[in-house]
Structure 1
Amino acid sequence: MSSEDITLTAGDAEVTVQPGNGGRVGGLRVGGVELLRQGDRFGCFPMVPWCGRIRDGRFRDGATVHQMPLNSPPHAIHGTVRDGAWRTARVTESEAVITYDLVEPWPYPGRVTQVVALGADTLTLTMSVETYDSSFPAQIGWHPWFNRNLGQEDVRLDFQPAWQEERGDDHLPTGNRLDPKPGPWDDCFGMPGGVDVTLTWPGQLELKVTGREEWVVVYDEQEAAVCVEPQTGPPDGLNTLPRLVTPLEPLEAATTWTWRRL
């Protein structure tokens, strides 16, 4: 099937899915109000087969060292699938299933499947990475750009992480865990009970980002938007906390956004 944009609807919510632009959710409108920052690089894009930065673009798999392109020098950032065109596998009024076959520069064959499911007050994103060939380390995550302001007051973030990963001068975790510090952030946090972050646009909308994974990166250093990124491991996780995709066991993750009017 084609890579044309897909529009999903449920209640007064509308989602645009863009298979041809990296498999991203290009927009989420609730009652006609757009919650995601607009633009080809924004919306909410999938981070696969890694999340955040890989130190110097290199990761080790057994005795083999692989080099990824340095698209955020001196590091490689946010995976490869956001740069490719996905294929549409199935669409209903409120759900889309899209797929992407991993290609170079990623050194292993595999398939990524993303399901975008819209309810009247929820959006659930589910992703899996599977292989029928060699096993390989991978990560799954999402990088939403939520508009900081919907026309009134700026959004407020509320979450209770168990720890914050200490960030080195190279923007990567040092391996030390700290008590959470106040923002602004470009930082990774640990939430062992699962990701649970509330965004509140006062007088307008409350939105919760939840998921079973225990890692979330919060980035709020830009004026236009804030990012709440649930993921299966920390930045540089292919080296420090790899999750293995095998022919018998795919890597799977999901995140749900739930909202209510205020």
Structure 2
Amino acid sequence: MSRSEENVRLSVGDAELTVDPVHGCRISSLRIGGAELLRQGERYGCFPMVPWCGRTGNGQFRNGDALHELPLNSPPHAIHGTGRDTSWHTAHTAADEDEGRASFYYDLAEPWPYEGRVTQTFELTEDGLTLGLAVETYGNSFPAQAGWHPWFHRRIGGGRDAELSFDAAWQEERGADHLPTGRRIDPVAGPWDDCFGMPDGVDVKLTWPGQLELTVKSRSEWVVVYDEQDEAVCVEPQSGPPNGLNTAPRLVTPIDPLETTTTWSWVRL
């Protein structure tokens, strides 16, 4: 592990990971054998979506009788949580002594209406990366979500376009407002900006022909696939569907934090 003023770099074998805790604790770079897998830029890389994922309809959600309003950063909705816009702290744990491990945290604050802490962990090996997110409350229970939004390069090293492969049990029908309608449909052909259900856990394969095969897995059953841009393909494992604070609330309580993980594994072709 090495640190600059802002970034933390992990290196195992020919895998190199750079985390930028100051700018949303996002992965700013993931290089395998010198090839950059993630789209570069302050909005890209791979950022955590927390304490909600995707769009929250009209920036509003309820917790019991309380109605809360979030900033409309993607009008008319609130999108992707507050973690990506927050400076995180590096956790000083024994794991820091291991070159392939790192952990970070930030305390929930306005505009999120509840107090708590979010922790993100990274574990890099020669052929994989495991990410973890945990959301804890300091008192009151509240609904929350957590997940990741990686921007994988559509092409690496001047090669052919990446190919997506997955088998979903259903697709959330997307309304004109980009929110799920509540109806589950058979998966349709892309391009996508859509949420899919995988009850046995997320399992999506991204293949750069002749170069690399990367598999995204998670115990969570929800994944958003976004491939409407020429530059990148996004495979987003998350703990609930878009607008899930309203439609599928998962309460974080003092004795039951929200915890989710994803593992990216890769093989050279």
The answer, yes or no, to whether TM exceeds 0.5 is yes
1:170 to 2:177 alignment: yes
Once the 2 structures are TM-superposed, how far is the Cα of residue 181 of structure 1 from its aligned partner? 0.2
- The 2-side partners of 1:197 and 1:250 are apart by 26
1:144 to 2:150 alignment: yes
Which of 174, 178, 186 aligns to 1:179? It is: 186
Spell out the pairing of 1:83-122 with structure 2 (5 A cutoff): 83-90=85-92, 91=96, 92-122=98-128
**Kept after mapping to 2: 8 A contact 1:49/1:80:** yes
Which of 226, 229, 233 aligns to 2:236? It is: 229
**Kept after mapping to 2: 8 A contact 1:2/1:87:** no
- The 2-side partners of 1:136 and 1:62 are apart by 9
Once the 2 structures are TM-superposed, how far is the Cα of residue 205 of structure 1 from its aligned partner? 0.1
Q: In the alignment, what sits opposite 2:66? A: 64
Q: In the alignment, what sits opposite 1:153? A: 160
What do the CA deviations read for 1:97-148 (whole angstroms, capped 9, x no partner)? 0001111000000000000110000000011000121110000110000000
- The 2-side partners of 1:29 and 1:249 are apart by 36
- The 2-side partners of 1:245 and 1:177 are apart by 26
Once the 2 structures are TM-superposed, how far is the Cα of residue 240 of structure 1 from its aligned partner? 0.2
- The 2-side partners of 1:249 and 1:163 are apart by 28
* Matched letter for residue 126 of structure 1: G
Q: In the alignment, what sits opposite 1:193? A: 200
- The 2-side partners of 1:27 and 1:257 are apart by 14
Once the 2 structures are TM-superposed, how far is the Cα of residue 219 of structure 1 from its aligned partner? 0.2
Once the 2 structures are TM-superposed, how far is the Cα of residue 3 of structure 1 from its aligned partner? 7.0
* Matched letter for residue 184 of structure 2: R
Determine helix, strand or coil for the equivalent of 1:216. strand
What do the CA deviations read for 1:9-60 (whole angstroms, capped 9, x no partner)? 1110000011001011111000000000000110000000000000000001
In the TM superposition, structure 1's runs of 4+ consecutive aligned residues that sit over 6 Å from their partners are: none
What 5-or-longer segments of structure 1 have no aligned partner?
none
Q: Identity over aligned residues, as a percent?
A: 67
What 5-or-longer segments of structure 2 have no aligned partner?
none
1:134 to 2:136 alignment: no
- The 2-side partners of 1:76 and 1:193 are apart by 29
- The 1-side partners of 2:13 and 2:126 are apart by 5
Q: In the alignment, what sits opposite 1:54? A: 56
* Matched letter for residue 234 of structure 1: P
Once the 2 structures are TM-superposed, how far is the Cα of residue 179 of structure 1 from its aligned partner? 0.4
Determine helix, strand or coil for the equivalent of 1:56. helix
The number of equivalent residue pairs is 262
Determine helix, strand or coil for the equivalent of 2:84. helix
* Matched letter for residue 191 of structure 2: P
Task: Give the TM-score of the pair, scaled to structure 1.
Answer: 0.98
- The 2-side partners of 1:218 and 1:115 are apart by 23
* Matched letter for residue 202 of structure 2: V
Determine helix, strand or coil for the equivalent of 2:22. helix
